Amino acid sequence: MDRIGIVPRYARWRMSNDRAQTLTTASADLSARSPGANGTSSNARASIEAVEQAAETLLQITENIAKVLKGKPDQIQTAVLCLAAEGHLLVEDVPGVGKTLLAKALAASVAGVTNRVQFTPDLLPSDLSGVTIVDPSTSQFTFRPGPLFGNVVLCDEINRASPKVQSALLEAMEERQVSVDGTTHPLPRPFMVVATQNPIEQEGTYTLPESQLDRFLARISIGYPNREAEMSVLNEHGRANPIDTLSSVCDVSAVSRVTRLVPRVHVAPVLMGYVVDVLAITREHSDLRLGASPRAGLAWLRLARARALASGHEYVTPEDLHAVAPTVLCHRLLPRSRGGSTASILADVLASVPIPGSRRG
- Report pLDDT for 16: 42
Listed in sequence order, the residues at least 6 apart from 157 whose beta carbon sits closer than 8 Å to its beta carbon are: 118, 119, 120, 196, 197, 198
Please list, residue by residue across 94-119, b when 16 or more beta carbons sit within 10 angstroms of its beta carbon and e when fewer do: eeebbbbbbbbbbbbbbbbbbbbbeb
- Report pLDDT for 325: 96
Answer positive or negative: Cα dihedral of 234, 239, 243, 249.
negative
- Report pLDDT for 41: 67
Contact indicator for 195, 90 with CB cutoff of 8 Å = yes
Contact indicator for 128, 165 with CB cutoff of 8 Å = yes
How far apart are alpha carbons 215 and 188 in whole angstroms?
18
- Report pLDDT for 141: 85
- Report pLDDT for 11: 35
Tell me which residue of 124, 132, 138 sits closest to 183, measured CA to CA: 132
- Report pLDDT for 76: 96
Supply φ then ψ for residue 283, to 5 degrees.
-75, -20
Structure pTM?
0.84
- Report pLDDT for 45: 76
How far apart are alpha carbons 93 and 102 in whole angstroms?
12
Supply the DSSP symbol for 315. Answer: B
Contact indicator for 340, 287 with CB cutoff of 8 Å = yes
How far apart are alpha carbons 226 and 122 in whole angstroms?
38
Report residues of the chain scoring pLDDT below 70. Answer: 1-42, 202, 204, 339, 357-361
- Report pLDDT for 276: 96
Start-to-end Cα distance in the chain? 32
How far apart are alpha carbons 61 and 297 in whole angstroms?
27
- Report pLDDT for 4: 38
Coil vs helix vs strand at 166: helix
